[in-house]
Amino acid sequence: MPALSSTLSPDESPPLPAWSRATPQRGYVHAGRFLPWFAFAAAVLCAGGLFVGLAVAQTDPHQHEHYRIAFIHTPSLWLSVAIYFFTAATAGYGLFRRQRLLSMIASALAPTGALFAFLALWTGSLWGKPIWGTWWVWEARLTAELLVLFLFLGYIALQEAIDDTRRADRASGLLALVGAFGLPLLYFSVFRWSTMHGSAPQGLSAPDSPIIAAGIILMSLGLLAYATAATLARLRNVILKRERNSEWVERNFGARP
Amino acid sequence: MNWESWSQFWAMGGDGLYVWSAYLVAIVVIFTEIAVIGLTRRSILEHLGRYAKIARKERKPRIDDSRF
């Protein structure tokens, strides 16, 4: 564009849009900078949440101590769903903007999301057995959560199966987006029939037990901080692996001669 | 505080099996993830170092751009 370059000296070139400044190199530096803070917050908040939930909170008159599984079950569930939509958003935005760092963030998020989906199902099963008398029922919330887990596993499998990272990002991003639109559809269609599951955040909606609510909130924040820290740590691995041929990686991580 | 003794705490009013196995699984899974991330990082750094050494032998020295 000659008209533009003739009016601007090299020093005052127009600023690049924000998304194009988000390079993998900057992502690596910022991930490393924020990682210890999130790890620290996760340790403190989870310790507080476990103390409140397991030691301070009172015994429930109906469910006795079984309800204490909620302090790990509910935050895991919220996080798995939140991470899923965040994965789909970053993967989708990376797909249409061809923004590599966003696709890397998406692939760093997915394993942690799968972990929390697995935890939500597993702890839910351990809660369902004594209360409902069964490990599993085909019911709206449980089925939707199982789908979240399978979508995460599908996303990870697609990424691993395709060697060309750009094609892998495209295929898995598409899967994540389809899931993000399909998931609410499935949830609300199945939800219309019948449900055995208790109303969502019982601890939060019950004003008579602010201690239980505090425990669940503390654990949610703590596990959110953990998920962020784990994602940042994994993001650094993903960046190094994908950018291994770039000059800055070689300069900073190549062996000393 | 809901408990009067440690044994009461570990027993969880007889529901300990379900409650503690839920937390045990969570702890095992989370610490496994931390270990996997750390081991992956270590192996990546090892490979990067080895790769750079080979590349340096095979290639002409890079122009030092700090002089420009």
Q: Please determine, for residue A208, whether its predicted confidence score (pLDDT) is greater than 60.
A: no
| Residue span of the structural domain in which A143 resides | 27-58+67-193+205-242
Share of chain A above pLDDT 70, in %: 82
Q: Which residues of A touch B34 (CB under 8 A)?
A: 230
pTM of the full predicted structure?
0.83
Q: Which of B18, B48, B55 sits opposite A253 (nearest CB)?
A: B48
Distance CA(A84)–CA(A111), nearest Å, equals 10
Q: Which residues of B touch A (CB under 8 A)?
A: 1-3, 9, 12-16, 18-19, 21-23, 25-26, 29-30, 33-34, 37-38, 40-41, 44-45, 47-53, 55-56
Q: Which of A79, A83, A241 to mutate to test the interface with B (most CBs of B within 10 A)?
A: A241
* DSSP per-residue letters across A151-168: HHHHHHHHHHH-SSHHHH
Residue in chain A nearest B44 by alpha carbon: A241
Q: Which residues of A touch B (CB under 8 A)?
A: 54-59, 64-66, 68-69, 72-73, 76, 111-112, 115, 118-119, 122-123, 126-127, 129-130, 226, 230, 233-234, 236-237, 240-241, 244, 249-250, 253-255, 257
For chain A, what percentages of helix, strand and coil (3-state, to nearest 5) are there? 80, 0, 20
| Cβ–Cβ gap A254/B55 under 8 Å | yes
> What's the pLDDT score for residue B31?
96
Which residue's entry shows tokens 């996760």? A42
Q: Which residues of A touch B12 (CB under 8 A)?
A: 65, 68
| pLDDT tens per residue, range A122-180 | 999 888 888 787 888 777 788 888 999 999 999 999 999 998 888 999 999 999 999 99
The number of folded domains in chain A is 1
Say if A119 falls within a structural domain: yes
**Do the Cβ atoms of A83 and A118 come closer than 8 Å?**
no
Q: If you ran DSSP here, which 8-state letter would residue A69 be given?
A: G
The number of residues making up chain B comes to 68
Among the ranges given (A41-50, A246-255, B29-38), the one the predictor scored with the smallest mean pLDDT: A246-255
> What's the pLDDT score for residue A67?
82
Say if A2 falls within a structural domain: no
| Cβ–Cβ gap A253/B49 under 8 Å | yes
Distance CA(B23)–CA(A72), nearest Å, equals 7
Say if A46 falls within a structural domain: yes
Distance CA(A216)–CA(A203), nearest Å, equals 7
Distance CA(A82)–CA(A75), nearest Å, equals 10
Say if A134 falls within a structural domain: yes
CA atoms within 13 A on the CB side of A71: 27
Q: Which of A59, A65, A132, A156 to mutate to test the interface with B (most CBs of B within 10 A)?
A: A65
Say if A250 falls within a structural domain: no
Q: Which residues of B touch A72 (CB under 8 A)?
A: 22-23, 26
Among the ranges given (A85-94, A204-213, B1-10, B47-56), the one the predictor scored with the smallest mean pLDDT: A204-213
Residue type present at position A2: P
- A120-148 CB burial, b ≥16 within 10 A, e <16: bbbbbbbbbebbeeeeeeebbbbbbbebb
DSSP H/E element including A193: none
Say if A181 falls within a structural domain: yes
Compute the nearest-CA separation of B41 from chain A (Å).
Answer: 6
| pLDDT tens per residue, range A63-116 | 777 888 889 999 999 999 999 999 999 999 988 887 889 999 999 999 999 999
User: Phi, psi at residue A64, to the nearest 5°?
Assistant: 50, -125
Q: Which of A22, A25, A23 is nearest to A251 (CA)?
A: A25
ipTM: 0.81
> What's the pLDDT score for residue A134?
80
Say if A71 falls within a structural domain: yes
